[in-house]
Amino acid sequence: MTTLVHAPSLTTLSEDDTLFRDAVREFAQAEVAPRVARMDADESIDPDLIASLFQLGVMGVEIPERYGGVGGSFFAAALVVEELSRVDPSVAVLVDVQNTLVVNALTRWGTPDQHARYLPSLAADTVGAYALSEAGSGSDAFGLSLRATRDGSDWVLDGRKMWITNGAEAGFFVIFGTIDPTLGYKGITAFIVEGGTPGLSIGKKEDKLGIRASSTTELVLDGVRVPSENVLGEVGKGYKVAIETLNEGRIGIGAQMVGLACGALEHTLRYVQEREQFGRPVGEFQGVQFQLAKMATDVEAARLMVYNAARLKDEGAKFLRQSAMAKLFASRVAQSVSSLCVDLHGGYGFTREYPVEKLYRDAKIGTIYEGTDNMQLQTIAKDLFRG
């Protein structure tokens, strides 16, 4: 039976995108797949695997070649996330945050000096993290309490950040704080903070339902001194850095959810051809076939929405509504498909012997991080009324 990775829509990829996608696919099967169960149990990504991700080039897809990156497109980064997610969404989100949030923010808002200082290491060996959320600011992204106080030519940061993906591995942080809470969103400023800076420490590591190998941590900032040249963008313009970067990041999460759903369905397609009941493979029963057909249709629709949003971004066209729609739909598809795949595995699907159980757990986060479903609906509605 033909698998979903050969879906007709993928034939429209450029030759470079196809070659890159195929290289990532082979890497995922050879290097990631054998480690998935152990990393999930250990709640950490194998450091050797992270080093291999840098060597493959997927940690710097959009970083220009002169800085050691691939010099690829945003669309190529989305393809990487999709392919890795077919095997392990935990590994995929490490790569996704690096590319669609951290590198994207730095390349778009950073100065030439910041590019020269930080892009080479982000392409070569340094994991990045994006620190916006706090205990009291989730969907209300700009209700920040982390304070940035001017001291001479430096800024001093004090406060805590929560839910920080890649927190345990990162050596480079984009951290958002407010210079004056009374200014509201106009006080938000983004700062580049290097790992190992005095006063910066990693706090609690969350014990999660899914994507357990991906670290999600608290950051503690106690008198962290940051030079003024490490302001990312302009003072008081951090809200623009955050909004525009997250709009792009939602496409990456959509790609993660598409890959996850595709992986669950591919495991199930194989299983229903091997599992026999009543003297024949369960995949021969029309009721099972119809469920598979519906899932394949939903996955393909989600994929096309993600691809469309990524291409609009690369073309410099408006993509706010499309990115929110892609994340919303792909996240819901990932949940429904992975759940039904567990059902079609029967009792085996409820055990850790088969990979659909993990993918089912991993799917839940898609409707939560980088904007909940309700926040995506709000974004879509507002954009509709703008005309």
Q: Which residues are catalytic?
A: 370
Query: CA angle at residue 244 from 241 to 249, to 5 degrees?
Result: 110
Contact 269, 300 (CB under 8 A): no
Residue 225, beta-bridge partner list: 156
User: Which residues are within 8 A (CB) of 261 and not within 5 positions of it... i.e. 6 or more apart?
Assistant: 295, 298, 299, 302, 330, 333, 334, 337, 338, 363
Cα 307 from Cα 254, distance rounded (Å): 9
Q: What is the token pair recorded at 45?
A: 């990504």
How far apart CA 189 and CA 238 sit, in angstroms, is 4
